[in-house]
Amino acid sequence: MATGAQMRAPGFGLPAREVVAREAAAREARAARAGAAIADAGAQPGAQDLSLFLHEAPGGQVEMAFAIEGIDCAACIDEIEDAAEAEPGVAQARLNYTTHRLTVAWAAGAEPGPAGVMAALAGRGYRAYPFEADRVEESERGASRHLLRCLAVAGFAAMNIMLLSVSVWSGNLSDITPETRDLFHWLSALIALPAAAYAGQPFYQSAFRALKARSLNMDVPITLGVMLALGVSVFETLNHARDAYFDSAVMLLFFLLTGRYLDQAMRRRTRAEAGNLAALRATSANRIGADGSLVTVPAAAVKPGDEVMVRAGERVPVDGRVLSGTGAVDESLVTGETLPRTFAAGETVHAGALVQDGALRLIATAVGEDTFLQEIERLLDRGATARGRYVRLADRAARLYAPMVHTTAALSLAGWLIAGASLHQAVLIAVAVLIITCPCALALAVPAVQVVAAGALMRRGVLLNSGDALERLAEADAVAFDKTGTLTLPEPAIANRDAVPADLMAAAGRLAHASTHPLARAIAAAAPDAAPAEEVREVAGLGIEGMVGGETARLGSPAFCGFDEQDTKGASGTSHVAVSLGERRALIEIRQALRPDAGAVVEALRRAGRHIVILSGDRREAVAPVAAALRVEDWWGGARPAEKIAVLESLEAGGRNVLMVGDGINDAPSLASAHVSISPITAADVARAQADAVFLGERLAPVAAALAVAGKARALMRQNLAIAVMYNAVAVPLAIAGAVTPLVAALAMSGSSLLVTLNALRARRAAGPEMAVFEAATFEAPASGPPGRTREDAR
Amino acid sequence: MTVLLYLVPAALSLGLLGLAAFMWSLRTGQYDDLDGAAVRVLSDDDLHDDDARDPRPHGAGRR
């Protein structure tokens, strides 16, 4: 994802040789991934049912969308489209390079073969994931098209009316005849009235909704200002007056629509990116058919009552009750607990849990059928309502601003009437006040900064879920971290690599490639290039045995390799795997490792004056060493979801705004109820959906970067609001004095909007200790995670 | 000033033409993939129609 954005225009500004070299490197990497993909495909059961994702297109064709991973240069477009179109029955394949999505259409009557397309793309080194745009994304797309159409109409009208208005203004100073001026005013009315009726819809509707709910938002003065300006201008035109305000009304709409469109575009872009990531990580389920055969289906296609098979190394796709089988299950993504628990028939397992060994046959249950999930649901509801009380900066400004605008206009009307002006003159001045104060710069002040800051964050591996997340992030002065999967890496890693003899380690690596056990995967990940051992056989419940360099090698439980129970006592939270080669043997310690930059990030956050706490669902003795290593004094272990919320509430009662960083299902309620929240991309779906932002990659530094950029963005938003207020302080007295002509209004309006937009561009640069820790991290490694990880998660 | 009688309609109809063109381009999805459009223009597969199903890897066959 990130690489696609960085290399958006490959070749421009680079010497040709370098471009060729880069693309060659990209091809090589893809070829390597293609090999891995084929190996993977071999491990999967044959039958796949993806009919859930197919839908009928007009003309009888059947279409399906895929999210594609691995696009890194422009040449990929041809390669992907040609590979998909070479499949039988495919009528057309079209890749969207911006969103990294491929739409494949099968000819009418042809049998659609999505699995074939996925295999063809995997052979070329791209991973394709079935993709279904969610309803929110669809409706946002519709809304943004409507805004763009309104913007186009307002732009057209503003340009043409300005053409006529400039003629009138210059004519008024020289020799325009009253008849020509009237003609121009009528033409302006002809353009402005229908254009304003069409382009103003977003504001009228929102203002109407606000009034119906008996509140005031920024759209109320906008609607009032536009309506009054148009009405007065028509009245003036009827009376053959010198000036009309058609241009001001339409230009106002144009600027406001620009702000609104920018705001929308930012949220839409994030949503598209998040949709792709969700597709990449969507789990598939092995459904057991009526005839006992296994069919791989997307987890979303499993209905309550369906039977599902989960084998060692797979994640549980849906909540369910165990029908038969036993297995050790790692529930760290659910409860934060790192010690695996053994499940037997009759117990309930939760989606997201990882089966370490054994196999479970589940019957899927509806969401929330057991106490743990019910508690989560209940807490989530409560958290969501608490969050709804937050008022955005722009709305807070509007609440102050709207009544002030109306009072000023009414006062100047009354004032001029008392001073003896005619009703006509007084109304004209009041309208001028309304137009001048209409919050042009105010409407652009916040969205312009949001767009620039969200772009800056996206480049640094942080995706925002909500528009006001930036404001709330900037207010955070305490950070609560979950331990498992947040401070630590989601996958366990070898802890004592140097203590194990190199040849034993190599043998372990070669054996590990033949096993699906999660602990074996940690060893395999440490030796990615090792060739799998020969003559491997699996001894159920104990480990695997094979030939390495002519000697018998074993990898598995300590007892399997001849260790006594006493030897394996170690630090808690550590799992032991033993390896033996001939007569020699060694213990490998595997544990959840801290993210590589966790210490530096926590230190930087502390230096920036933020209070740090750790809130973990894991056992106290597993949390203590982490807290000690990070020098965090406030920490809680063994906390249930409700207790986490209680801690957050006590912190908030102490006057702090808490940023919650967490990834588990048990964190979801606290993510929803904290002032603001961030999840790693590896988080459970429900947690990611509750978080205000998501960060990519192995490092924690994006969290620090998010705080730094948000702080900068908030400062700029305030500056922008100050600029808007200052502009009013100058322009409003002029308007009240009756000195504002349409020309002055036009200049003031565009001038302040331009100033605010230019100021917003500065949000790209942020500084401070938090930014420094991010930059130090990026020089060592790119922000996006290794490709291997997403591959494993997708299974 | 009679010149205005056809100059103003001319100016307005040109503007409307531009607006109509924009609406058409929006409706036909030309703003859906801005990054893709920028790089697709550089692809020269229209020159090699005969080897469009070239079995060689594409990067190698095309430069």
Q: What is the pLDDT of residue A390?
A: 65
Q: How many angstroms from the chain centroid is the CA of residue A332?
A: 23
The answer as to whether B49 is a domain residue is no
3-state secondary structure of A129: strand
More reliable by pLDDT, A327 or A182? A182
If phi > 0 it is left, if psi is from -120 to 50 it is alpha, else beta; for residue A535 that is left
ipTM exceeds 0.90:
no
Residue A568's pLDDT band (boundaries 50, 70, 90)?
A: low
Instruction: Give strand pairing partners of A743.
Output: none
CB-CB under 8 Å, A159 with B15: yes
- Encoded amino acid at A526, one letter: A
Round to whole Å and give the CA distance between A430 and A228. Answer: 10
Please say if the pLDDT value at position A622 is more than 70: yes
Residue A760, exposed/middle/buried by CB under 10 A (0-12, 13-18, 19+)?
buried
Q: Give the Cα separation of A449 and A458 in Å (integer).
A: 14
Give the confidence band of A449 by pLDDT, cuts at 50, 70, 90.
Answer: confident
Contact B18 A156 (CB under 8 A): yes
- From A11, A24, A82, residue closest to B58, measured CB to CB: A82
Class of domain A284-382: mainly beta
| Radius of gyration over every alpha carbon of chain A, rounded to an integer in angstroms | 31
- Among A24-38, A79-93, A400-414, A623-637, where is mean pLDDT lowest? A24-38
Strand partners, A613: A480, A634
Reported as type and span, the H/E element at residue A738 is none
Q: Where are the domains of chain A?
A: 2-132, 135-282, 284-382, 466-490+595-705, 493-591
Q: What is the pLDDT at residue A6?
A: 38
Number of continuous H segments (helices) and E segments (strands) in chain A:
26, 26
Q: What pLDDT, on a 0 to 100 scale, did the predictor assign at position B46?
A: 61
A344 touches chain B (CB under 8 A): no
Nearest Cα of chain A lies from the Cα of B25 at a distance, in angstroms, of: 11
Helix pair A701-736, A598-607: axis angle to 10 deg: 30
pLDDT over 80 (residue A1): no
B47: contact with A, CB 8 A cutoff = no
Backbone angles phi, psi at A633, to 5 degrees: -90, -35
**Residues A479, A484, A487, A489, Cα dihedral to 10°:** -150
Over A322-335, what HEC string results?
Answer: EEECCEEEECHHHH
What is the band of A793 on the pLDDT scale with cuts at 50, 70, 90? very low
Q: What sign for the dihedral angle of Cα A376, A381, A382, A388?
A: positive
Average pLDDT over residues A615-629: 85
User: Is residue B1 included in any domain, yes or no?
Assistant: yes
* Higher-scoring residue by pLDDT: A114, A18: A114
Range of the domain at B18: 1-29
Distance from CA of B3 to the nearest CA of A (A): 12
pLDDT of residue A742: 77
pLDDT digits (tens, 9 = 90+) for A701-746: 889 989 999 988 889 988 888 888 888 888 888 888 877 777 888 7
Nearest-CA residue of chain A relative to B11? A160
Q: Which of A151-155, A456-460, A490-494, B28-32 has the lowest mean pLDDT?
A: A490-494
Q: Cβ contact (<8 Å) for A75 and B4?
A: no
Which CATH class for the A135-282 domain?
A: mainly alpha
pLDDT band (50, 70, 90) for residue A54: confident
User: How many angstroms separate the CA of residue B11 from the nearest CA in chain A?
Assistant: 8
Nearest to B43 by CA among A463, A379, A82: A82
DSSP assigned state of A584: E
Using one digit for the tens of pLDDT, what is the confidence trace for A4-53?
Answer: 333 333 334 444 455 455 555 555 655 555 544 444 443 344 466 777 77
The pLDDT assigned to A538 comes to 76
Residue in A86, A148, A187 closest to B53 by CB: A86
DSSP annotation of B51 reads G
Can you tell me the distance from the alpha carbon of A262 to that of A270, in angstroms, rounded to the nearest whole number? 13
Helix (H, G, I), strand (E, B) or coil at A159: helix
Confidence class for position A197, pLDDT limits 50, 70, 90:
very high
Handedness of CA B59, A130, A463, A616 (dihedral sign): negative
Residue A584 and residue A607 in contact, taking contact as beta carbons nearer than 8 Å: no
Candidates A437, A401, A398; CA nearest to A728 is A437
SS3 sequence of A256-267: HHHHHHHHHHHH
Contact call for A97 and B57, based on CB within 8 A:
no
Q: Mind telling me how many Å the CA of A90 is from chain B's nearest CA?
A: 14
Q: Between A746 and A414, where is the model more confident?
A: A414
How would DSSP label each residue in A192-228?
HHHHHHHHTHHHHHHHHHHHHTT---THHHHHHHHHH
CA distance A537 to A543: 9
- pLDDT band of residue A372 (cuts 50, 70, 90) is confident
Q: Could you count the other beta carbons within 10 Å of the beta carbon of residue A598?
A: 21
Q: pLDDT tens, A476-523? A: 899 999 888 888 887 778 877 777 787 888 888 888 877 777 778 788
Give the DSSP H/E element, type plus range, for residue A460.
Answer: none
Q: Is residue B34 part of a domain?
A: no
Q: Looking at A101-115, A132-146, A156-170, A633-647, which range is the least confident one?
A: A132-146
Which residue from A96, A160, A183 is facing B15, i.e. has the nearest CB?
Answer: A160
A10 touches chain B (CB under 8 A): yes
Are the beta carbons of B11 and A10 separated by less than 8 Å? Answer: no
Give the 3-state secondary structure of residue A300: helix
Task: Say which residues have a Cβ less than 8 Å from residue A556's Cβ, sequence separation at least 6.
Answer: A539, A542, A543, A544, A577, A578
- Across chain A, what does the average pLDDT equal? 79
Could you give the number of structural domains in chain B? 1
DSSP string covering A601-647: HHHHHHHTT-EEEEE-SS-HHHHHHHHHHHT--EEE-S--HHHHHHH
How many C-alpha atoms does A66 have within 13 Å on its Cβ side? 28
Query: To the nearest 5 percent, what fractions of chain A are helix, strand and coil?
Result: 55, 15, 30
Return the H-helix or E-strand segment holding A355.
strand A354-364
A400 touches chain B (CB under 8 A): no
Size of interface A-B (CB pairs under 8 A): 76
* Coil/strand/helix, residue A174: coil
- Which fold would CATH assign to domain A466-490+595-705? Rossmann fold (3.40.50)
Residue A284 and residue A301 in contact, taking contact as beta carbons nearer than 8 Å: no
B14 touches chain A (CB under 8 A): no
Instruction: Return the CATH architecture of domain A493-591.
Output: 3-Layer(aba) Sandwich (3.40)
Which residues of chain A neighbour B35 with C-beta distances below 8 Å?
A: 8, 97-98
Least confident of A364-368, A675-679, B49-53: B49-53
| Catalytically annotated residues of A | 482
- As a whole number of angstroms, the distance between CA A262 and CA A753 comes to 14
Chain B: closest CA distance from residue A672 (Å): 33
**Element holding A348 (H helix, E strand):** strand A348-349
B43 touches chain A (CB under 8 A): yes
CATH number 3.30.70.100 given to A2-132? yes
Contacts of A206 (CB under 8 A, 6+ apart): A217, A219
3-state secondary structure of A102: strand
Chain B touched by A345 (CB under 8 Å): no
Tell me the pLDDT band of A388, cut-offs 50, 70 and 90. low
Among B39, B40, B49, B51, the residue to mutate for chain A (most A Cβ within 10 A): B39
Q: Residue A31's closest chain B neighbor by CA?
A: B57
Task: Give which of A694, A671, A708 is closest to A481, Cα–Cα.
Answer: A671
DSSP string, A680-695: ETTS-HHHHHH-SEEE
Q: Chain A within 8 Å of B41 (Cβ-Cβ)? A: no
Q: Is the dihedral of CA A348, A354, A358, A362 positive or negative?
A: positive
User: Nearest 5°: phi and psi at A328?
Assistant: -85, 125
**pLDDT tens digits, one per residue of A179-193:** 889 999 999 999 999
Give yes or no for a contact between A99 and A65, defined as CB atoms under 8 angstroms apart. no
